[in-house]
Amino acid sequence: MKGTTDLNMVNAFIPGQVDLDPQMSQMIERRETLLGPAYRLMYERPLHIVKGEGVWLIDQDGNKFLDAYNNVASLGHCHPEITEAICNQVQTLATNTRYLHNMIMELADALITTVPETNLKHLMLTCSGSEANDLAFRIAKQFTDGVGIIVTETAYHGFTDAVSQFSPSLGTGVNLGTHVKTVPAPNAYHAEGVDIASKFTSDVQHAIDDFRRHGIKPAALIIDSAFTSDGILTGEPGLIAGAVEAIKQAGGIYIADEVQAGFARTGESMWGFQRHGVIPDIVTIGKPMGNGHPVAGLMVSHEVVENFGINSRYFNTFGGNTVSCAAALAVLNVIKSQDILSNANTVGTHLREGIEKLMTKYPCIGDVRGVGMFVGVELVKDRQSKQPDRELTSRVVNRMQQNQVLISACAKGHNVLKIRPPLILTKEQADLIITTLDKALAETL
Ligand code: PMP
- Residue 378 belongs to some domain of the structure: yes
Question: Can you tell me the distance from the alpha carbon of 313 to that of 310, in angstroms, rounded to the nearest whole number?
Answer: 7
- 310/326 same-domain check: yes
- 40/117 same-domain check: no
What CATH number has the domain bearing residue 299? 3.40.640.10
Over the stretch 192-201, which tens digit does the pLDDT of each residue have?
A: 899 999 999 9
CA 353–ligand 1 middle distance (angstroms): 28
- 232/168 same-domain check: yes
Q: Determine which residue's CA is closest to atom 13 belonging to ligand 1.
A: 129
Question: Can you tell me the distance from the alpha carbon of 79 to that of 75, in angstroms, rounded to the nearest whole number?
Answer: 7
Nearest C-alpha neighbor of 411 from the set 386, 429, 437 = 386
Nearest C-alpha neighbor of 426 from the set 82, 49, 68 = 68
- 36/163 same-domain check: no
Neighbours of 138 (CB within 10 A): 15
CA 130–ligand 1 middle distance (angstroms): 6
pLDDT band at 95 (very low <50, low <70, confident <90, very high): very high
CA 50–ligand 1 middle distance (angstroms): 24
Question: Can you tell me the distance from the alpha carbon of 152 to that of 167, in angstroms, rounded to the nearest whole number?
Answer: 9
- Residue 249 belongs to some domain of the structure: yes
- Residues of the chain with pLDDT > 70, as a percent, come to 98
92 HSE (CA, 13 A, CB side): 13
Report the DSSP beta bridge partners of residue 378.
367, 416
Contacts of residue 255, Cβ cutoff 8 Å, sequence gap at least 6:
133, 136, 137, 140, 220, 221, 222, 223, 280, 281, 282, 283, 284
- 383/295 same-domain check: no
CA 409–ligand 1 middle distance (angstroms): 16
Nearest C-alpha neighbor of 226 from the set 383, 386, 372, 361 = 372
- Look at the pTM and tell me if it is higher than 0.75: yes
Given 321, 337, 353, the domain boundary residue is: 337
Pick the atom of ligand 1 nearest to 155's CA: 3
Neighbours of 255 (CB within 10 A): 31
CA 209–ligand 1 middle distance (angstroms): 28
- 38/96 same-domain check: no
- Domain of residue 398 covers 7-78+340-444
Pick the atom of ligand 1 nearest to 159's CA: 16
Report the DSSP beta bridge partners of residue 180.
149
- 86/106 same-domain check: yes
- Residue 118 belongs to some domain of the structure: yes
- Residue 211 belongs to some domain of the structure: yes
- Residue 1 belongs to some domain of the structure: no
CA 129–ligand 1 middle distance (angstroms): 5
- Residue 2 belongs to some domain of the structure: no
Question: Can you tell me the distance from the alpha carbon of 68 to that of 74, in angstroms, rounded to the nearest whole number?
Answer: 10
- Residue 38 belongs to some domain of the structure: yes
Pocket test residue of 70, 255, 260, 324 for ligand 1, highest count of atoms within 8 A of CB = 260
Query: pLDDT at residue 5 above 50?
Result: no
Neighbours of 312 (CB within 10 A): 11
- 328/368 same-domain check: no
Over the stretch 63-86, which tens digit does the pLDDT of each residue have?
A: 999 999 989 999 999 999 999 999
Pick the atom of ligand 1 nearest to 131's CA: 16
CA 201–ligand 1 middle distance (angstroms): 25
Specify the number of domains making up the chain. Answer: 2
What CATH number has the domain bearing residue 405? 3.90.1150.10
Tell the burial category of 307 from Cβ atoms under 10 Å away from its Cβ (0-12, 13-18, 19+). middle
Per-residue pLDDT, averaged over 293-310, amounts to: 97
Query: pLDDT at residue 156 above 60?
Result: yes
Largest CA distance in the chain: 62
- 59/192 same-domain check: no
CA 442–ligand 1 middle distance (angstroms): 33
The interaxial angle of helices 340-357 and 322-337, nearest 10 deg, is: 70
How does the average pLDDT of the chain come out, rounded? 96
- Spell 381-409 as b/e; 16+ CB within 10 A means b: beeeebebbbebbbbbbbbbbebebbbbb
Given 337, 355, 375, the domain boundary residue is: 337
Pick the atom of ligand 1 nearest to 294's CA: 15
Q: Determine which residue's CA is closest to atom 10 belonging to ligand 1.
A: 157
Question: Can you tell me the distance from the alpha carbon of 296 to that of 63, in angstroms, rounded to the nearest whole number?
Answer: 32
Neighbours of 242 (CB within 10 A): 18
- Residue 295 belongs to some domain of the structure: yes
- 333/203 same-domain check: yes
Over the stretch 302-359, which tens digit does the pLDDT of each residue have?
A: 999 999 999 999 999 999 999 999 999 999 999 999 999 999 999 999 999 999 999 9
Query: pLDDT at residue 4 above 70?
Result: no
Backbone angles phi, psi at 434, to 5 degrees: -65, -45
CA 439–ligand 1 middle distance (angstroms): 31
- 248/389 same-domain check: no
Given 313, 337, 361, the domain boundary residue is: 337
Containing 356, the helix (H) or strand (E) segment is: helix 340-357
Q: Determine which residue's CA is closest to atom 5 belonging to ligand 1.
A: 260
49 HSE (CA, 13 A, CB side): 18
Query: pLDDT at residue 1 above 50?
Result: no
Q: Determine which residue's CA is closest to atom 1 belonging to ligand 1.
A: 157
Pocket test residue of 156, 255, 289, 324 for ligand 1, highest count of atoms within 8 A of CB = 156
Pick the atom of ligand 1 nearest to 287's CA: 15
Q: What lines the ligand 1 site, CB under 6 Å? A: 128-130, 133, 156-159, 224, 228, 257, 259-260, 286-287, 296
CA 220–ligand 1 middle distance (angstroms): 18
- 60/124 same-domain check: no
